[in-house]
Amino acid sequence: MKTKLITKEGYQNLQNELDTLWRKERPETTRKVSWAASLGDRSENADYQYNKKRLREIDRRVRFLTKTLEDIKVVEYHPQQEGKIFFGAWVTLENEEGEMLKFRIVGPEEIYGRHDYISIDSPMARACLKKEVDDDVAVKTPAGIKDWFVTQIEYLPSVKS
């Protein structure tokens, strides 16, 4: 089961996507479907079929976003988090070979399209929680336990909308 947490920025991004789909893309696609339907035979009308399919995709995403935004809890930064890894932290790790990893721990709905975000539900994030700079992090992977060393923890201020 996914954790139902999200950063303030992530919530705003999902809300913006919902607004764009509902106020711009859906009316435009509905207009195209109506226009294509007015041309007659729908069975061989590529415009009608494509836009009808797109309308179903938009409606499915709108339903998902609406339900997600109702059920999810926004977690904002609190000064008590400083110095430890919690939700919303930017974390830099290093291993014995000198490899560096930098990522932000966020909710599961925020990771798509981002290579520098990881879900709070991931083994790496779970292993990092409550750690401090200079702590060791042991992450269980299919290839065995991987050891990392916390080198930096940052909480960047939220961008004001």
Q: What is the pTM of this model?
A: 0.83
Residue range 62-89: mean pLDDT, rounded = 92
pLDDT for residue 101: 94
Decide which of 74, 91, 120 is a domain's last residue.
74
Dihedral sign of CA atoms 134, 140, 142, 143 in order: positive
Q: Looking at per-residue confidence, does 78 or 32 come out higher?
A: 32
**Interacting residues of 17 by C-beta distance below 8 A, sequence separation 6+:** 61, 65
CA of 34: how far to CAs of 23, 40, 47, 76, in Å?
A: 17, 11, 10, 44
Decide which of 74, 101, 124 is a domain's last residue.
74
Q: Residues 81, 147: one domain?
A: yes
Residue range 32-40: mean pLDDT, rounded = 89
pLDDT for residue 1: 58
pLDDT for residue 88: 94
Q: Residues 92, 43: one domain?
A: no
Q: Is the pLDDT reported for residue 23 higher than 90?
A: yes
The model's confidence at residue 90, banded by pLDDT at 50, 70 and 90, is very high
- CA atoms of 27 and 11, how far apart (whole Å): 23
pLDDT for residue 159: 47
Q: Is the pLDDT reported for residue 160 higher than 80?
A: no
**Residue in 86, 90, 69 with CA at minimum distance from that of residue 78:** 86
pLDDT for residue 80: 80
Q: Residues 65, 83: one domain?
A: no
Judged by DSSP in three states, 148 sits in strand
pLDDT for residue 42: 80
In a domain, 159, yes or no: no
In a domain, 160, yes or no: no
Residue range 143-158: mean pLDDT, rounded = 88
Q: What is the DSSP letter of 21?
A: I
Q: Is the pLDDT reported for residue 158 higher than 60?
A: no
Cross-strand partners of 102: 92
- CA atoms of 103 and 94, how far apart (whole Å): 12
Burial of 51 (0-12, 13-18, 19+ CB in 10 A): buried
Residue 110 is part of a domain; what is its CATH number?
A: 3.10.50.30
The model's confidence at residue 157, banded by pLDDT at 50, 70 and 90, is low
In a domain, 123, yes or no: yes
In a domain, 22, yes or no: yes
Q: Residues 55, 16: one domain?
A: yes
Q: Residues 89, 50: one domain?
A: no
Decide which of 46, 74, 102 is a domain's last residue.
74
When divided into structural domains, the chain yields a total of 2
- CA atoms of 148 and 153, how far apart (whole Å): 14
Instruction: Identify the domain containing residue 146 by its residue range.
Output: 77-154
Q: Residues 52, 109: one domain?
A: no
Across all residues in the chain, what is the average pLDDT?
91
